[in-house]
Chains A and B, each alone.
Chain A
C-alpha cells in the first residue's frame, strides 16, 4: 500500500480539465496530486507518430497506447486484430470497436441487448456509441481537432426558449459568468481566430450588440488561413437560406498556431486528428507542463483510481484508492490511497461516472458516490454527425491544410429549434478520407476495377445523377500509367465533405452503468452503455442535414456522392448487426461520433435531478468537484473543448475559495 497525503487537492485525470485546475491551483501555491490512469506524456512524440504511420486504420486513437489494432492478430472473427479489453489495464473505447460493438472480446463497452421486435425506425433501438477518448497523460486533447468555439447564450436556455432539453443552471447568467473564463481558456489554448468574422456571427445571434462576449474579447493569434475548399463553399452558399436563415462560411477559431510562438506554426500536416506531428496544435500536455513548472503539482502515471472513500458522518470525501501497473497487459503492481482536502474528478465523461458508480462500498452510498439523485452516468450525449460528400466542379485541392478551417455557424440557433435540433456544419479539408477511406478506396477501385467509391461503375446518386467519374471509360475500369494518374488526380483534388454536428437531447435513459459481467485486466468493471436517438426532434435534424447538404452541393455545381447507408440490422450475428444505422421518414441514416462525450454528471439547480451544483461541486459531498464535458446539461451547438477549459478555470476559482475558507 502506498499512501500519498498532505495534498490540498487530489485530481483524477491529466487531460485538459485536470491540467487547468492543477495549473491554477499550483500557481496559487496549493499542493496538488494528479492520478493519471494512463502512460506518461512521452519525452518526444516520435513513438506515437511511428505507431500512427504504421497503423492500417488511422483512426483518432491509432497513435496512442494501448495499441488499437494488431494486423498479425487478425482472425476471421476479428479481422482488425482488436485487443481483448479483458487483458488490458486501461482499455478505452475506440472507433474501430464501433463495428465490433456486440463482441465483448473486442469492444471495451458493453451494451444491453436489443429489445425484441423493433423496426428500423424504432426510437427504442440501441446503438453503438460512436465517439472515443484517450487514457494517457494529456488525455483526449492529443486527438482533438482544435476547434475553439464558444457556445451561444441561447445554448444555455434550450428549455426556456424552445421547450426542449434543459437549461444550464442560471441560463444566460451562466454564460455571462463564464465570459471571463472563456477569455482565460482562449489564451491558455492560444486560439487563432478571426475576430471580425466572429463578430459577424455574434451579431447574428444578438451577442455583440450588448457586449456580452466580454470587453477584453479577442484572440491571441490571427485566424488560420482559410483553405481553397473553404473558399469554394464560401463563394457558393451565400444566396442560400435554411429555415429563413442565410448561410455563410465562418473561419473557425482554432487551437493551433497561426504565428510562431511557444509552439511551432501550423504546417498543414492535415493530421490534427489523430496527431499533430509538430505540436502546432494545443494539447493538454502544454498546460500539464505549466502546472508541473509551478513546483506544486505532482503527477502519478499508471495510477488507476478505483474507489472514492466517503466519511459516513460528514459525507466528506476522505480519499481516493488507486491500483498501479507497469505495462498495459501486465499484472497489477500495487495499490494505495491518495488524500487531500478537496477532490476533483477529471476523467472525462465515461470514466468519471464509472469511478463514481464503482465507489459503492461506502455506507449510505450503495448506488455510488455523489449519486443521491440517481443521475450519475445519465444523459450521455454526443454531437451525432451526419456526413455528406461530393466532388467539386473544379479542383479545390483537398487533403491540404488543417483538417478543418471553417464551418457554417449560422444555423446554430433559430426559431426552428422548437422543432428540430440545431447543428453547425464543419467543412472538411481532408477530401473523402473520413467519408470513404480515401485515398485508398478510390485507388483500389481504379486499380482493381471495383466501385466502392461509386466513381467507377453505374451508381447514381440520390438525385439520380450518374456518378461514374469518366463517362468515356467503361464501368469497373482497371487503369494504369498516365490514365490512372489523370483519373486519381482529377478525383482527389475535387473531393469535399461536410459534417453536421447535430445537438442531441439529454435523455436519462442514455447512460453509463457498470457491466455486471465484463471486467478489465485490473478487475474493474467495464462500462455498460445504453445509447439511443429516440427523439424525432433530433432525427428531424438528420432530414434537414441531408436536404441542406444537397442544396449546398447543387449551389456549388458539385456532384454529391453521399452513399445511403444500408438498412439497420438489429437482430443477427455480431458480424451482421449494424452499429449506428437507423431509419427515419423512409430514409436510411447512419450517424458518426463527433468525439464530444457529454453529460454524465450534469450540473443543475436541484439536487434531485443533477449531480453537481452550478459551482461544479457535488450536491452530496462538499469537497468533491467534477470537471470536463460530463458537467454539461446539454451538448449545445459548439465543439465542447473551449467550454470545458473555461469551466475548468471557473472550477479552479471555486476550489480556491473553498480552500481559503476550509479548516480541516
Chain B
C-alpha cells in the first residue's frame, strides 16, 4: 500500500468514525494530535475485523463504501444510516458497530449471544492503557476517565462548564449543560 493510500485510508477511517460516534473529526483526531489514538485504532481495527470475519476485503470495503457515500454529498445522518443498513451484510454492520464501541470504550467487544436463561451481553478487552483514557464515553458523560482527571479540586460541586464536546467550538465560554 502506498503512503498516499494509507493516508487516504486513515482519512476515511476518521471520517467514518466521526459519523458513527457523533464526535467530529477535529475532536477524535485533532490536527495537533498528541494522543494519536487513531494510529493505534486503524491497524487494530483492520487486523481484528479481518480475523473475526475471515474476509480480507471487509475493512477496505467498509472504508470504500464510506468514501463513496461521503462523495455523494449525503448528510452525516444519512451516511451513518447507509453504513449501518442491513443490506450491507451482517459482518459489515457488526464491524461498524464494533467501531463505535471501540471509540467509546477503548476496548474491543465480543458479543455473547442470548441463551435460554440469559439475554445477549457484551464483554470487552481493553486495547491499551492509552485507549482506556481516550474513550469517548468519558467525554459523553462530561467527565473524565476514572483514574485520569485533569480537573481541579471541587469541580464536582458544580455542573460541567461545557456541553458534550462533540464539535470544536469557536468560543469556550458556553454555559449549556444540556445538549
Contact = CB atoms under 8 A, between A and B. Distances in A.
Establish whether A and B are touching in the complex (CB under 8 Å). yes
Interface of A: 49-50, 52-56, 58, 71, 79, 225-228, 231, 258, 265-271, 274-275, 277, 395, 397-402, 405, 429-431, 433, 439-441, 443-444, 447-448, 450-452, 478, 480-486, 488-490, 492-493
Interface in B134-161: 135, 137-138, 140-144, 146-149, 151-160
A483 B77 CA distance: 10
Contacts of A258: 153
A395 B177 contact: yes
B153 A266 contact: yes
Contact of A268 (B22, B149, B178): B149
B63 interface: no
Contacts of A269: 144, 146-149
Contacts of A270: 143-144, 146-147, 149
A484 to B, nearest CB: 6
B101 A444 contact: yes
Contacts of B26: none
Instruction: State the majority secondary structure of interface residues on A.
Output: loop
A481 B153 contact: no
Interface residues of B, number: 56
A243 B128 CA distance: 50
Interface stretch (B3-11, B34-42, B53-61, B114-122): B114-122
B64 interface: no
B105 interface: yes
B147 A448 contact: no
Nearest to A482: B22
A486 B119 contact: no
A267 B159 contact: no
Contact of A440 (B105, B128, B153): B105
B101 A56 contact: no
B70 interface: no
Contacts of B125: 56, 71
B12 interface: no
17 contacts: A52-B147, A53-B126, A58-B146, A228-B159, A266-B153, A267-B152, A399-B143, A439-B104, A440-B107, A440-B122, A447-B97, A480-B19, A480-B21, A480-B84, A481-B20, A488-B137, A493-B142
A490 B72 CA distance: 33
A405 B101 CA distance: 31
Contacts of B179: 485-486, 489-490
A486 B104 CA distance: 14
Contact of A54 (B19, B120, B126, B166): B126
A341 to B, nearest CB: 44
Contact of A485 (B140, B144, B178): B140
Contacts of A481: 19-22, 76-77, 80
Nearest to B111: A448
B124 A54 contact: no
Given A440-B124, A450-B121, A488-B140, A401 B155 contact: yes
Given A54-B129, A450-B121, A484 B100 contact: yes
B164 interface: yes
Given A227-B157, A448-B120, A480 B149 contact: no
Given A58-B146, A268-B153, A399-B143, 8 more contacts: A270-B146, A401-B156, A439-B135, A443-B137, A450-B119, A480-B97, A481-B19, A492-B140
Given A484-B21, A485-B140, A443 B105 contact: yes
Given A228-B158, A450-B119, A485-B166, A443 B101 contact: yes
Contact of A271 (B100, B123, B147, B157): B147
Contact of A447 (B101, B140, B146, B158): B101
Among all A-B residue pairs, the 8 with the closest Cβ atoms: A401-B156, A53-B129, A444-B122, A492-B141, A271-B147, A439-B137, A485-B22, A481-B22
A82 to B, nearest CB: 15
A485 B80 CA distance: 14
Nearest to A270: B146
Contacts of A271: 146-148
A56 to B, nearest CB: 6
Contacts of A489: 140-142, 164, 179
B109 A225 contact: no
B133 interface: yes
Contacts of B23: 485
B119 A451 contact: yes
A440 B109 CA distance: 10
Contacts of B122: 440-441, 444, 448, 450, 452
A438 B64 CA distance: 34
B132 interface: yes
Residue in B129, B138, B143 whose Cβ sees the most chain A Cβ within 10 Å: B143
Contacts of B133: 53
Nearest to A229: B156
A268 B128 contact: no
B97 A478 contact: yes
A484 B22 contact: yes
Contacts of B107: 56, 440
A399 B166 contact: no
Nearest to B120: A450
A630 B157 CA distance: 37
B30 to A, nearest CB: 18
Nearest to A442: B137
A490 to B, nearest CB: 8
Contact of A227 (B144, B149, B156, B178): B156
